[in-house]
Structure 1
């Protein structure tokens, strides 16, 4: 949860809440995206001694349309900010809040796991994945469709909660759950350099063949290639779920995942949940 890097530049945007920001050569901070909030933490500008350290508190991280990742926040009031501390290539220490990272990863992963139950055991309901919101102030996943029958709703919630409780008790690897039913969907992990190469994406789809599979791209998403990948996979008759969030490696990290409420939102069915 820490990494040494170099400062690229300091900037300031007027008229926004988090106006000041830092850009570094490499970052371990996950920017807001994938339906979840960004990492939080600090960037310490080191200049040889503890007394000369300048601490920048990171409250939000965003990737702009220019693909530059900006770390927004403020300088600690106990530190002196000098021109020398903001010079290009000065050493920096990046530290993310590990508890927040784990919390956000759990909220995000829980949304995937609920979706896995729906795709595996509730396919007869014809619910189409629509969106996910994995923030602390009320996490949910939404599906296009509805469950009008009250008894079916009760059965739906019970199926999800019972299955998730079983997976947690067994401490199942997350990757094994995503591959729980290989006939219906397949996990394909792509690294960042592969995602920048459309040829790699095409090879991936050809490798999976014509099976009706759900490809979950775990890691950074590459916006300029999403449309191309989507078109290629839809030609194969599959259902693609792009993902740019953080994930847990083992479901045993959860104490509990529980669906708490179903609510109809226009054409969507919202499935609210909590995690521990």
Structure 2
């Protein structure tokens, strides 16, 4: 079978359905079309480019969505399912790539314009959305405790999520600060505060996100270009910031898995706040204090 190549620059930008508030919760799309496809060698791995997708592309500290792309093969009228395990987006062109393997025989590559059904693995999406929202609740807890610092990194993967900030906390104060952060996080979850997602002009996004403190540089989020761009702003627990990830509808959605702050590390002008879903947050607190304070 001949291998087809696609030039990202020649393809139209992908409509990322999850960017809007309601689109953030859509798990299936039946109105997508293929705008390009590449077969990887002789195996069943393909790279599919769509005009629109509900799948989250890896980036911004959040892992890729997984799911399926399904279409009908006209040569024998059979259904082909592609198990997508990686979605990425070219930030320069806005073109999203869906990479995966076909789960049944691929007679030939589908033609450009072929309609497909895109479906997200719902359980994984829910868990990753909770994880990302919990990271933003950490931001709000920091502000609530009077420890507002510039966030420098968010790691919202399930193998040990954390948020890092530029700043320091005196060693003797850390045990109490950690207790205060844990209490603030828990209170914000109990308040069941709705999440807000909106796309704003760059100047307005800058004003909204830096109203409390000058923590965000819009150039890091697609702004600062000759032609001002729109910025996606997510507000969680009253704390707005530029963000391209997926989220749950409310802080109350974090209660079932008992998301909470686990520990703090301070090293070389960086504060790292670790969080997780756990049923043992309180039992772990004493042990984590000892671990946290060795830095």
TM-score (norm 1): 0.73
Q: Name the counterpart of 2:79.
A: 53
Quote the Cα distance in structure 2 between the aligned partners of 1:167 and 1:215. 21
Residues 195 and 249 of structure 2 are in contact (CA less than 8 Å); yes or no, is this contact kept in structure 1? yes
- Tell me, in whole angstroms, the C-alpha distance in 2 between the residues paired with 1:50 and 1:252: 49
Give the distance between the partners of 1:42 and 1:27, measured in 2 at CA: 11
Structure having the larger proportion of residues in helix: 1
- Structure 2 residue aligned with 1:71, among 91, 98, 102? 98
Residue pairs, 1:198-209, within 5 angstroms: 200-202=201-203
d(CA) in 2 for partners of 1:252, 1:212: 24
Query: The residue matched to 1:225 in structure 2 has which SS?
Result: coil
Aligned residues: CA RMSD: 3.4
Equivalent residue number for residue 130 of structure 1? 152
Unaligned 5+ segments in structure 1 are 176-188, 195-199, 231-238
Structure 2 equivalent of residue 252 of structure 1: 252
Secondary structure of 2:52's match? coil
Which of 223, 226, 235 is matched with 1:225 structurally?
A: 223
Q: Which runs of 5+ in 2 are unaligned?
A: 1-26, 230-238, 279-295
Deviations 1:113-167 (A, max 9, x none): 11111122223xx6332111000111000011222323x2121221122122223
Deviation for aligned residue 1:241: 3.9
Counterpart CA distance in 2 for 1:267 and 1:205 is 25
Partner of 1:28: 54
Is contact 1:108-1:245 (8 Å) kept?
A: yes
Kept in 2, the 8 Å contact 1:215–1:240? The answer is no
Contact persistence 1:261–1:273 (CA under 8 A): yes
Tell me the equivalent position of 1:142: 164
Q: Matched residues in 2 for 1:154 and 1:12: separation?
A: 54
The 1:20–1:155 alpha-carbon spacing in structure 2 relative to 1, beyond 3 Å, is same
Q: Corresponding residue for 1:160?
A: 181
Q: Which residue of 2 aligns with 1:197?
A: none
Give the superposition deviation at 1:223.
5.1
- Following superposition, the deviation at residue 203 of structure 1 comes to 5.2
Aligned equivalent of 2:284: none
Report if aligned partners of 1:216, 1:243 keep a CA contact under 8 Å in 2: no
- Does the CA contact (< 8 Å) of 1:46 and 1:93 recur in 2? no
1:81 maps to 106
Q: Deviations over 1:242-261 (max 9, x none)?
A: 21111111111112222222
Is 1:95 equivalent to 2:95 in the alignment? no
Distance 2:163 2:206 in 1: 26
